[in-house]
Amino acid sequence: MRKHGDGLIDIVNGANYVTISNSRFEQHNKSITISGNDNDTNTDKYKVTIHDCWFRGTTQRNPRVRFGMVHLYKNYYSDMGKYGRDMGYSSSLGYAIGVGVSAKIYSENNYFENLRHPTSFIDTTSKPGYIRDSGSYFVNSGSMTTRASGVTWKPSDYYSYTLRNASQVRSHVINNAGAGK
């Protein structure tokens, strides 16, 4: 998916148990939003898994998470912010994962290349968001800022999955993500 007017995927209205996998997002400003506003009443929903996806040249929201328990693993993030800069957006934009109000993000074995901000904290209320990361790989990128204390759940308590070494994620995702792969 690419070059759409606003969000490519909006997971809103209490959507629950959503998986996005083996997809490619590119040349876009806002890729994925999970919960549309800080006053959402569906705070016990938004259990979302995103894996084996390629976020290439997008500007932000890969995803942006409010509330919910979100598992991000084996994703490839490359050249964040390029599309935004090309379109005249602020050069300060360009983050991979937006941590919003009451988010509880579990990030594992992702590959980050050519981006300044793997995470951005966008929790403007008294209900902070949290992210825990393990095993991720960084090439020509800033470091990931985490706030892990509020992530008390584990994806393995809900389902089985297989990780691969983060250094192998890039080549696997390039060869397998997107239509026709």
**Predicted TM-score (pTM) of this structure:** 0.92
pLDDT score for 7: 76
71 neighbors 49 (Cβ within 8 angstroms): yes
**Among 24, 56, 61, 170, which one carries the catalytic annotation?**
61
What is the mean pLDDT for each group of 10 consecutive residues in the chain (181 residues)?
Answer: 70 97 90 93 95 92 95 95 55 81 98 92 87 97 93 97 97 96 79
Joined tokens for residue 38: 């800080």
Residue whose C-alpha is closest to residue 107's, from 66, 72, 148: 72
The pLDDT of residue 58 is 87
DSSP labels, the chain: -B--SS-SEEE-TT--SEEEES-EEES-SB-EEESS-TT-S-TT--EEEEES-EEES--B-TTEE-SSEEEEES-EEESTTHHHHHTT--TT--EEEEE-TT-EEEEES-EEES-SEEEEE---SSS--EEEEES-EEES-PPPP-B-TT----GGGT-------GGGHHHHHHHHSSTT-
What is residue 3's predicted lDDT score, i.e. its pLDDT?
Answer: 58
Amino acid identity of residue 146, one-letter, is: T
pLDDT value for 29: 82
Which residue, 81, 80, 56, is CA-closest to 177? 56
As a whole number of angstroms, the distance between CA 62 and CA 68 comes to 15
Residue 147 annotated as catalytic: no
Domain ranges of the chain: 9-176
What CATH number should be reported for the domain whose range is 9-176? 2.160.20.10
